[in-house]
Amino acid sequence: MDEPVKNLLKAERVAFVLETLQALYPEPPIPLDHRDEYTLLVAVLLSAQCTDERVNQVTPSLWALADNPHDMAKCTVEAIQEIIRPCGLSPQKAKAIKRLSEILVDDYDGKVPADLATLETLPGVGHKTASVVMAQAFGEPAFPVDTHIHRLAQRWGLSSGRSVAQTEKDLKRLFPKDRWNDLHLQIIYYGREHCSARGCDGTRCLICRTCYPARKHPKKTRKA
CATH number, domain with residue 101: 1.10.340.30
Torsion, Cα 95 127 102 34, to 10 degrees, reads -90
Q: Which residues are part of the catalytic machinery? A: 128, 146
- Decide: pTM greater than 0.85: yes
100 and 75 in one domain?
yes
**pLDDT tens, position by position, 152-170:** 999 999 999 889 999 999 9
**Final residue in a domain of this structure, among 120, 136, 152:** 136
**pLDDT tens, position by position, 172-192:** 999 999 999 999 999 999 999
For residues 85-104, average pLDDT? 98
DSSP percent split of the chain into helix, strand, coil, nearest 5: 60, 0, 40
Nearest to 107 by CA among 77, 69, 162: 69
Nearest to 136 by CA among 175, 185, 171: 185
Domain coverage including residue 152: 10-28+143-211
127 and 45 in one domain?
yes
User: For the chain, what is the mean pLDDT?
Assistant: 96
Residue 221 domain flag: no
Residue 220 domain flag: no
